[in-house]
Structures are given as structure tokens and as C-alpha cells.
Amino acid sequence: MGEPTNFQWECPLPLRSHRHVVMGHGGGGKLSDDLIRHLFLPAMGGGNDAQTDAAELMIGDRRVAFSTDSFVVRPLFFPGGSIAELAVNGTVNALAMMGAMPLALATGFILEEGLPLADLHAIARRLGVAAQAAGVALVTGDTKVVERGHGDQIFINTSGIGLIPAGRRLHPRRIQPGDQILVSGEIGLHGVAILSVREGLIFETVIASDCAPLHTLVATLLAAAPATRVLRDPTRGGVAASLNELATAAGVGMVIAEGALPIPEGVAAACEMLGLDPLYVANEGKLVAIVAPAERDAALAALRSHPLGRHAACIGQVTAGPAGLVIGRTPIGGERIIDLPLGELLPRIC
């Protein structure tokens, strides 16, 4: 395959010496970042704010958030959810992290020839249930089919529109030294749930994905802590990737108290067995909030008052620098650098 001209592409900056797409380009880490910064943005033109998961547009006098995500998770069904709940909640959460209330979703299906219609029906039904639970309308869609062996059962793209209430200002540039870093609950559940079913691992208890729509949790948080700087949902690359992106975007440092991380026992056991770090494992129903120091306690109380934020915790704080450096402090006083992952521990986690 090639473009029908004798076009020779010169890489503007080395893409870590790859000449072809590798799995890590979809992992939400350094390789994804390279692709966005050094290939997509220069080639497709600006307009993108690479620091947010969704775009903000003015339509009349309304602030509108607009987001898109494709879902390629394997397996399609897993403890706690399926590709359908991910497709709805993933886009709802991308909008929610902009402070937006989700309004409408559009679904694009790429089906592989041979997919049982019963599976497609189960997925469609779950999409409907998840959308209703999130209070968002499925307003339009598209279906394409590719030949057997040229797809993988079903891929779902979900794009969404949300409304950002007046006065909300969430952006990494608002982060300041001294700000407090919160997570809304126990981390690592989605990644471990996927991994356990994919690898056929049996743990003492079934670990279920935390997949959930976060917009009402966000509304509760922002009502109590209106100076909140920025929100992120730590999906691919986990909390570590979200913190690194924010620290880099804001030009600040961060120090995390590793003992304060809410890690469920099952996730800790699974990660120890598999040699994974829970900070890098994907979540689908958690948020990271950077809040003003004076609002920390109000923010924590608000999060904990919501069913999806019962285990919220303050896990660290923002420092003056070095810019982009995230440090983990262990309870016994050790320090380590929590780096941006190169790719993804587990491909096709969402």
C-alpha cells in the first residue's frame, strides 16, 4: 500500500525510531503522545488543544464539549461490564472531565462478518441501558461491516456532546504549587478485571471493572469545591499517566504519598502476582481531581458523599517542580520517579 505519488515522508521528530504503528501507539503513554504531537497535530493542523480529552466550542451563548473515543476492548464481556458500558461511560466521562453534563451520544459500529447477531443484540441492549442510566440520549449512529479476519467482532466509536455550565474553568494551566491531588476511589479495578478474564486467572474474589458514568460525581464535587483546577479520568496508563500529563502540561511537579493510594486488596494481590504497578493500571469509573488547598476537605467530603466516591482520598500535592516530574514517596521514606509509561501494560483495555 502507498500513496499514489512518490511522496517521501520525513518525520519531523523521531517517533522513537519506529517506522510502523506498534501496539504502544494506542496505549495512552509516551508513544501515543509522540503520535499526537509529532504526526497528527503537524499534519492535520492546529485547533486541537492536546491538553484536554474533549474540545470546547461556543454554540450561540452555550459552551459545548465535544469528544470522541473508539472502543476495541477484548474480551467484549468481562466482570462488571462490556464494550457497551465502556462505550457509553468512556465518552460520558470524557465530557464530564470538561465539567460538562452529557447531552447526546452518537455510536459508530464496525462489525466483523460472522459476529453472532445475538451478541450484537446483547451489546445494543447494554448500550441502551447504560445510556439511560447515564441520562444521555443515543441520537444517531452508523454501521459498517468488514470481512472476516479484517476486524475483531465489534469496534464501537462513541462521540458525545455535553453542555458546560457557565463559570466552569477546568484546565491544566490553572494548577498551582500547593494544590491537592485527590482520587475518587479505589484504583486498578478495570485493568485487573480485564486481565483476569483475558488470562484466565482465578483470584479469591472476582474483581469487577469499575466502569461508571462520572458526571454526577463531578457535579457534586464542583458544587462543593468550585475552585477545582482540573479533572482527569485515569483510563489507559492509569493514575500515573494522568498525573504525568497534568504535571507536564502545567509545568509543575507532584509528590504522591504511596501509602495514601486506595488500592483494593484484590488489585494489590493481583498486581503483586503479575508484577504490575496499580498506579499504571486502567480505571473506568474514577477521576483524579487537582483542587485548591483551601477546598481539599470540602472536596473530599463531597466525593465521599456520592456512591461513586466513597473511597476518595487525598494522595499528594503539587510542587513547584521540577516541571513534569512526579515523585512517589513510600511510607518508609523512599522515593521513586513515577514516569509516563511508554505504551500500555495491557493492550486493548478499552
In the window 38-57, what residues touch a copy of itself (CB under 8 A)? Answer: 39-40, 43-45, 47-48, 53-55, 57
Site membership for a copy of itself, residue 26 (CB under 8 A) = yes
The CA-to-CA distance between both ends of the chain, in Å, stands at 29
Which backbone phi and psi does 282 adopt, to 5 degrees?
A: -70, 145
The crossing angle, in degrees rounded to 10, of helices 215-224 and 296-304 is 140
Q: Does 116 bind a copy of itself (CB under 8 A)?
A: yes
* 93 in contact with a copy of itself (CB under 8 A): no
**Site size toward a copy of itself, by CB under 8 A:** 98
Q: Note the Cα 92 to chain centre separation in Å.
A: 11
| CB of 181 or CB of 340, closer to a copy of itself | 340
**Does the protein bind a copy of itself through residue 124 (CB under 8 A)?**
yes
Q: Is 202 in the site for a copy of itself (CB under 8 A)?
A: no
* Contact partners, residue 56, CB within 8 Å, separation at least 6: 49, 63, 64, 65, 66, 98, 164
Is 76 a binding residue for a copy of itself by CB under 8 A? The answer is yes
- Residue 310 interacting with a copy of itself (CB under 8 A): no
Told to check if 205 binds a copy of itself by CB under 8 A, we report: no
Q: Should residue 342 be labelled a site residue for a copy of itself when binding is judged by CB under 8 A?
A: no
**Which residue in 13, 135, 139, 272 binds a copy of itself (CB under 8 A)?**
139
- 140 binds a copy of itself, rule: CB under 8 A: yes
Give the residue, chosen from 133, 152, 176, 277, that forms a contact with a copy of itself under the rule CB under 8 A.
152
Compute the distance between CA of residue 170 and CA of residue 65 in angstroms, rounded to an integer: 12
Contacts of 35-42 spanning 24+ positions with Cβ under 8 A: 37/13, 38/11, 38/12, 38/13, 39/11, 39/15, 42/12
